[in-house]
Amino acid sequence: MDISSISTNYTVANADKSAEQSNSLQSSLKNISSDSSEEQLKGVIKDFESYFVEQVIKQMKDTFTSDDDGDSTMSQYKDLYMDQAIETVADEMVDQIGESYTQTLYEQMKRNIGQ
């Protein structure tokens, strides 16, 4: 396998992962009903918060980083590891400092689905 095929595989895998995250979140939201438990609702809310924070961090990173070597294989590997680090940071931020926001979203969701 040569470098160009690795690069292509990375690009396809990254696009698939992004679509998978979005589809998973949409699927979770569709499964919410008035019969959903507090644990299920808060789980979906935390998934949403993590996804949202992750997207914000990625946009901030893109704002501050140069795209000079955007086509190089090393740049793509760097982006892969950066995306994984951002996902981990987003999850940790939601777990450690997002509780009041999670509670607010939970209460709003309860009102909207009639619990």
Give the pLDDT of the chain (115 residues) as one tens digit per residue. Answer: 444 555 555 556 555 666 777 777 777 777 777 777 888 888 888 888 888 899 999 898 888 776 665 567 777 788 888 889 999 999 999 888 877 888 888 888 888 877 5
Single-letter amino acid, residue 40: Q
CA–CA gap between residue 14 and residue 37 (Å, rounded): 33
> Are 25 and 43 a contacting pair, CB within 8 Å?
no
Angle, CA 59 vertex, CA 56 and CA 63 arms, to 5°: 140
Which sequence spans correspond to the domains of the chain?
Answer: 3-113
Instruction: Please give the pLDDT value at position 2.
Output: 47
pTM listed for this prediction: 0.62
The pLDDT value given to residue 1: 47
